[in-house]
Amino acid sequence: MIEMKAGSDDSTDLDVIVVGAGFSGLYILHEFLKRGYRVQLFDDGEGPGGTWDKNNYPGARVDSEVWVYQFTDPAIRQNFTFSEKFPSWRELKPYFNFVADKWELRPHMKFGTRLEGASFDDRENLWTARFNDKTTRRARHLVLAMGSTTTPVLPKIPGIEKFEGESYHSARWPKGEVSFAGKRVAVIGTGASGVQTIQEASKTADHLTVYQRTPNLALPMGQETYSKQEYSKMGPLIGSAMDYSKKTFGGFAYDLDYRPWADHSAAEKEEVLRRNWDQKGFRFWLGAPSDLFFDEECNRDHYYFWRDEIRKRIKKDSLIELLAPTEPPHPFGAKRPCLEQWYFDVYNQENVDLIDANAAPIECITKTGIIAGGVEREYDCIVYATGFDNCTGALASLDIKDAAGRTIRDIWDEKYLTYLGKMVPGFPNLLFTYALQSPSAFLNGPTAAELEGDWVVKTVAKFDETGIHRYEARLEAAHHWAERCNEIADMSLMPKAKSWYMGANVPGKRPEIQPFIGGQLAYKAALDEEMEKGYPGMTLE
Ligand code: N01
């Protein structure tokens, strides 16, 4: 066992460097500190929160019920009050600050510091991490908790740099308020970020134009607000919801229903669809019959039900086919739906237009607006809600090379390879969370953070206790994991959607399933098995 020293100045070597101050990074930092490790966390944001520190666009809010969208630690859970069932970034910021104080993390976190690269010293088994402020730190373990939706993608539209009005990517929103009041606003993109921005912009913009390529099969949120008293009364309920969520497919307080769709009578089908719909939130998706993800008929039944409900809200006949087409644009739920509050109603307003960006593709951006389908429209503000290089972007951006001089990007350009979504062969003593081939992108976030974080911390602690100085994923084990990820995806309807789950949203990115979609329990079983069997998928020295 290597002697651990409490505290450290900038010149001492660390036991662990953690990168990223979202749910995952904070949890891992806390768990290492509890074990007496010398550990420092680095993040390029302004404060704790990870994605919630940066995604401050108007209306940005959680789409998991708050009782599962927080850490399970009772010291946190019982002492922080949320006011909404689906809180916004405005409440999550104080939450993350509360966590940082309660867990006494502040002395161990450095913000405004971006990891640029790292190199591994094979003789000493030490990583040297290099940061954008030209500083370096050395540590035995490098843990990258950089998130799966952290690398924004701006579309390559000619003239994008010429626009002279305001323009923002949803994930790089300025810290001060941005007012849409009295402005002509364009939003490009109708994913979760687009839907939430559109809802807010529609309230105050003089005119709002939405450029839609694919309709979002968004589900009604079912928002609720709570007084302090009401929230505190829900304490025991929240505790049991959390306990239950650990036993489910997606980390929610409800689960998939494994009874085959074909075994349901017509009346039972209608009853299931209605019940899940009425309960709102992701019930209609992650609380649906599991056949939703595998069986075309079950999937279509869900789509048609969704379509008919949404159509009831659309008043402009010309928009019905665009927003809720007769036939599914892709299998329901194979492209991530989001939760909406008044999204479909926005299009009934006179100050809102919807442009079909398939029929009228965006040709270029000019000094004053957007040309699409040969028509130029002028704007004061353009919002790019165009998404992320999900799952791979953060790690692939790093200048970290294996012994053969290949970066993680080089390896993934050839083949998406990780072992258990935790390591890449060739990169010893480097673990990551919330990335490629882990379930985090298909799981409630904090649930994934604790599941993955526990394994990372316990694994490092085990290695330290048993005198293992160097560990690395075996190549054949990584191939096996990649095959498993693909086999599950190929059995499902997921490959039938052009989605970020399939890596199909970024031009030039090789399409293949990005997360492990076998669910929380199958993933936990794989992690547990690896640990219990003494890490057969790794070389240990
Ligand atoms: O990004 P997206 P996002 N011209 O990739 C369109 C999480 N999240 O930031 O679908 C025109 O989903 C693109 O069109 P298409 C959540 O996991 C959670 O919205 O490719 N349009 C699409 O409509 C989510 O899934 C919350 O045809 C272009 C949109 O841009 C993930 O982050 C909130 C275009 C991108 O949608 C990503 O969501 C926000 C072009 N050139 C995000 N290029 C919560 O609620 C792209 N598009 C917790």
**One-letter amino acid of 381:** C
Q: What is the pLDDT of residues 291-308, one digit of tens each?
A: 999 999 999 999 999 999
Separation between Cα atoms, residue 122 and residue 78, nearest integer Å: 46
Q: Is 63 in the pocket of ligand 1 (CB under 6 A)?
A: yes
Any idea of the CA torsion for 528, 534, 538, 541, to the nearest 10 degrees?
140
The whole-number average pLDDT for the span 194-203 is: 98
Q: What is the pLDDT of residues 500-541, one digit of tens each?
A: 999 999 999 999 999 999 999 999 999 999 999 999 999 999
Q: At 3, is the pLDDT very low, low, confident or very high (cuts 50, 70, 90)?
A: very low
362-365, strands of its sheet edge to edge = 362-365, 369-372, 375-378
Residue 144 CA to ligand 1 centre (angstroms): 24
Q: At 2, is the pLDDT very low, low, confident or very high (cuts 50, 70, 90)?
A: very low
Ligand 1, atom nearest to 55 Cα: 39
Residue 468 CA to ligand 1 centre (angstroms): 43
The whole-number average pLDDT for the span 246-263 is: 97
Substitution candidate for ligand 1 out of 213, 444, 517 with most atoms within 8 A of CB:
213
The yes-or-no verdict on residue 1 having pLDDT over 50 is no
What ipTM was predicted for this assembly? 0.99
Substitution candidate for ligand 1 out of 88, 149, 335 with most atoms within 8 A of CB:
149
- Taking residue 237's Cβ as centre, other Cβ atoms within 10 Å add up to 11
Contact present, 363 and 211 (Cβ < 8 Å): no
Ligand 1, atom nearest to 60 Cα: 33
Q: What is the pLDDT of residues 343-390, one digit of tens each?
A: 999 999 999 999 999 999 999 999 999 999 999 999 999 999 999 999
Q: Is 149 in the pocket of ligand 1 (CB under 6 A)?
A: yes
The residue written with tokens 């680095």 in the block is 42
The yes-or-no verdict on residue 193 having pLDDT over 70 is yes
Separation between Cα atoms, residue 139 and residue 120, nearest integer Å: 10
Angle between helices 445-465 and 23-34 (to 10 degrees): 30
Cα dihedral sign for 83, 89, 91, 95? Answer: positive
Separation between Cα atoms, residue 443 and residue 447, nearest integer Å: 7
Residue 387 CA to ligand 1 centre (angstroms): 4
Q: What is the pLDDT of residues 438-485, one digit of tens each?
A: 999 889 999 999 999 999 999 999 999 999 999 999 999 999 999 999
Residue nearest atom 26 of ligand 1, based on CA coordinates: 192
Residue 192 CA to ligand 1 centre (angstroms): 6
Q: What is the pLDDT of residues 73-129, one digit of tens each?
A: 999 999 999 999 999 999 999 999 999 999 999 999 999 999 999 999 999 999 999
pLDDT at 338: 97
- Which residues, 6+ apart, have CB-to-CB distance to 502 below 8 Å? 489, 494, 495, 511, 512, 513, 514
Cα dihedral sign for 423, 425, 427, 428? Answer: positive
Substitution candidate for ligand 1 out of 54, 190, 340 with most atoms within 8 A of CB:
190
Mean pLDDT of the chain: 96
Per-residue tokens: 214: 């694919």
Burial class (CB in 10 A: 0-12, 13-18, 19+), 234: middle
Contact present, 424 and 473 (Cβ < 8 Å): yes
| Cα→Cα distances 385→12, 57, 122, 197, 463, Å | 42, 10, 43, 8, 43
Ligand 1, atom nearest to 214 Cα: 27
Q: Cite the beta strand spans of 62-193 per DSSP E.
A: 109-110, 115-121, 126-131, 136-144, 166-169, 184-188
Provide the 3-class DSSP secondary structure of residue 337. Answer: coil
Q: How far apart are the first and last CA of the chain?
A: 14
- Which residues, 6+ apart, have CB-to-CB distance to 134 below 8 Å? none
pLDDT at 9: 56
Residue 321 CA to ligand 1 centre (angstroms): 20
pLDDT at 176: 79
Rounded to 5°, the CA angle 266-269-271 comes to 110
Ligand 1, atom nearest to 192 Cα: 19
Residue 153 CA to ligand 1 centre (angstroms): 10
Q: At 177, is the pLDDT very low, low, confident or very high (cuts 50, 70, 90)?
A: confident
Ligand 1, atom nearest to 386 Cα: 30
- DSSP element (H, E) containing 485: helix 475-491
Contact present, 191 and 338 (Cβ < 8 Å): yes
